[in-house]
Amino acid sequence: MSPLAVDVISHPLAKQLVSELRDKLTPPEHYRRVCHKLTTMLVLEATTGLQTASKKVDTPLETTDCDVLGEGLAVVPILRAGLGMLDAVTELFDDVKVGYIGLERAHDTAVAHRYYCKLPDLKGRRVLCLDPMLATGGSASQAISFMKANGAERVVMVSVIAAPEGVSRLNLDHPDVRIVTAALDRELDPRKYILPGLGDFGDRLFGTF
């Protein structure tokens, strides 16, 4: 089997935040704060390759050349759990376009169907696909296909945790897409839940148990 192509951030704080998300006793209000912090770390890693441009800036002492962002960004959360990751991106970047893709997975087949899709023109922008749980990879693969059909040329998948099955699926379907996550877990169970995982991310984020 070929090695999985995935970037797992190794910062000690990221490990601490993942442990808090895994803990079944973490309440929704704290869960949302932890998600925001961890997403910030993930997005900073996912955007390390953004292009820059030179700009002259007048300091109080002289004029100097500075680097500024030279590439636009777009972000597309997969509804509904991906919404918990959105604010961290829009707080970091001013020039960002936002789209939404709604995919719902059938519990008996684990196959996702689209119920909503609203995307801006993605051409010429680095695109972040946000989904906290990369499980089977089916939903992410569908979403990325929609994005590419809407002009996306450089897509990065950003997930809180991932299963080997999901990473393998994306590597196969979209080998050009970089995957950034905070944890690569062991496997999927028969119901296609990630193990050891952290439960249903959306339910824990929004308190809909």
Question: Catalytic site residue 204?
Answer: no
Question: Catalytic site residue 109?
Answer: yes
Span 15-46, pLDDT tens digits: 999 999 999 999 999 999 999 999 999 999 99
Query: Which residue out of 22, 80, 105, 178 is catalytically annotated?
Result: 105
Residue 107: the pLDDT is 61
Residue 18: the pLDDT is 97
pLDDT band at 127 (very low <50, low <70, confident <90, very high): very high
Query: Which residue out of 52, 109, 114, 186 is catalytically annotated?
Result: 109
Q: What is the DSSP string of 4-30?
A: P--EE---HHHHHHHHHHH-TT--HHH
Span 1-11, pLDDT tens digits: 467 899 999 99
pLDDT band at 114 (very low <50, low <70, confident <90, very high): confident
Span 128-159, pLDDT tens digits: 999 999 999 999 999 999 999 999 999 999 99
Span 184-207, pLDDT tens digits: 999 999 989 999 999 888 888 877
Cα 16 to its chain centre, rounded Å, is 19
Question: Catalytic site residue 185?
Answer: no
Residue 190 has φ and ψ, to the nearest 5°, of -60, -25
Query: Please, where are the H alpha helices in 47-134?
Result: 83-92
